[in-house]
Amino acid sequence: MAENHGAILAEDLVKVYGGKVRAVDGVSFDVRPGEIFGFLGPNGAGKTTSVSMLSAGLRPTSGRAVVDGLEVSRNPEQVKRHIGVIFQESTADGDLTGRENLEIAAGAYGMGRAESRKRADELLEKMHLGDSSERYAKTYSGGMRRRLELAVGLVHQPRILFLDEPTLGLDPQGRAGFWEFIQKIRQENGTTVFVTTHYLDEADTLCERIAIIDHGKIVATGTPTELKDRLGGDIVTIKTATENPDMTGVLHALPGVNSLQKKDASYRVKCASGETFVPLAVEAVSKAGVGVTGVIVKRPSLDEVFLEFTGREYREEEGPTATDRAVMIQRVQQNLRGRR
Ligand SMILES: Nc1ncnc2c1ncn2[C@@H]1O[C@H](COP(=O)(O)OP(=O)(O)OP(=O)(O)O)[C@@H](O)[C@H]1O
Ligand SMILES: [Mg+2]
């Protein structure tokens, strides 16, 4: 294995389902060892499909994936031993105890009884599940289950973790707790983390770099700060009482305006400084005889970045698509087959 390879390399990855759905359409990026890399995109953008190809669960139609220096299509089984994958839905067996889930997983990776037990103990302790280790997983809370799944995903000490919406459905406390564990693992083992998430605030605080995918294509890559800076200033939304007359020209003529989008009776303006722009805008619009009904000033957050690059608001309530289930089931089956 070459010493200087990155952790994950995607080169022009393409996945076409059933000969017509181009779910992933030429995706390229690289993830450095030890990095937390966020993969964001609206529902159906191709996130789960990309994760599946990178984690040797799904064959790309074309393109190349290299994980931990291994060409994924040539060494799928070896790749699976280098990575841990956590799916967006629960994969822990509810009718087994936490400990049993872990010991069975350890056994599947070829560890003997004593070693499996030791590894299970270690992970139960680490994930704060020690007191509940003999309880059926179905009695666990959502947060506990996610921690158990994380433990299962870590049983073979993978160098790279793939997490597909790992905190979906957890309350803020559960999410924060889960991320604390991820951070700890990363600090202790230098694990690389590739994560898709619907929570942009999570991505903003946790990810070193982010790629935004839309319609199967990467539309932006960079650190959260770089991406926010790229928006070039504040975002002001001016809501007016009526859609007509159109205030586009009036607002555009004001100093410091970089761009403007109109939707119904509201105007989304990117400008150098929200503070200076707002009084000018209110005055100009009022002078034109149109009432201003609301003003929102935002320093760019990842939400704005997302809106900018995808043209869509990020909707957290949109859960996983039905297709995710199909992909996930297929992947679980392949994974199990791979371990036997
Ligand atoms: N097994 C499949 N067969 C056919 N089409 C599929 C299959 N899996 C996914 N797709 C389609 O591919 C596209 C990308 O789906 P994918 O699940 O990768 O998106 P996603 O970004 O993970 O979405 P979400 O945020 O909803 O999880 C969608 O249009 C989806 O309907
Ligand atoms: Mg998905």
Chain centroid to CA 236: how far? 27
d(CA 252, CA 260): 7
CB 305 within 8 A of CB 228: yes
pLDDT at 199: 82
DSSP 177-191: HHHHHHHHHHHHH--
pLDDT at 325: 53
Note the ligand closest to the C-alpha atom of 163.
2
- Ligand 1 centroid to Cα of residue 328, in Å, is 11
Residue 24 structure tokens: 């992933």
Fold of 8-223+316-339: Rossmann fold (3.40.50)
Strand-strand pairing, 292-298 and 234-240 = antiparallel
d(CA 22, CA 42): 15
pLDDT at 328: 56
Extents of the domains making up the chain: 8-223+316-339, 232-299
Note the ligand closest to the C-alpha atom of 41.
1
Q: Which residues contact 161 (CB under 8 A, 6 or more apart)?
A: 83, 84, 85, 86, 153, 154, 182, 185, 191, 192, 193, 194
Residues with CB under 5 A from ligand 2 (ion): 47-48, 324
Q: Which of 21, 24, 167 to mutate to test the pocket of ligand 1 (most atoms within 8 A of CB)?
A: 21
pLDDT at 202: 87
Taking the CA of residue 46 as reference, the ligand 1 atom at the shortest distance is 18
pLDDT at 100: 95
CB 129 within 8 A of CB 164: no
- Ligand 1 centroid to Cα of residue 18, in Å, is 12
pLDDT at 339: 52
CATH code given to domain 232-299: 3.30.70.100
What length is written for the chain? 340
CB 179 within 8 A of CB 187: no
Half-sphere CA count of 189, side-chain side, radius 13 A: 15
- Ligand 2 centroid to Cα of residue 261, in Å, is 30
Indicate the SS3 state at residue 32.
Answer: coil
How many other C-beta atoms are found inside a 10 Å radius of the C-beta of residue 336?
10
Burial 86-101 (b: 16+ CB within 10 A, else e): bbbbbbbbeeebbbbb
pLDDT at 59: 95
| Residuewise pLDDT in 10s, the chain (340 residues) | 444 578 999 999 999 999 889 999 999 999 999 999 999 998 899 999 999 999 999 999 999 999 999 999 999 999 999 999 987 666 788 899 999 999 999 999 999 999 999 999 999 998 899 999 999 999 998 888 888 999 999 999 999 999 999 888 788 888 888 888 889 889 999 999 999 987 888 899 999 999 999 999 999 999 998 898 888 789 899 999 999 999 999 999 999 999 999 999 999 998 988 999 999 999 999 999 999 999 999 888 888 888 888 877 655 444 555 445 555 555 566 566 555 4
Taking the CA of residue 330 as reference, the ligand 1 atom at the shortest distance is 1
- Ligand 1 centroid to Cα of residue 324, in Å, is 6
Q: What is the pTM of this model?
A: 0.80
Q: Where are the alpha helices (DSSP H) in the chain?
A: 47-54, 76-82, 98-108, 113-126, 142-153, 172-189, 200-206, 224-230, 248-252, 274-287, 302-310, 322-339
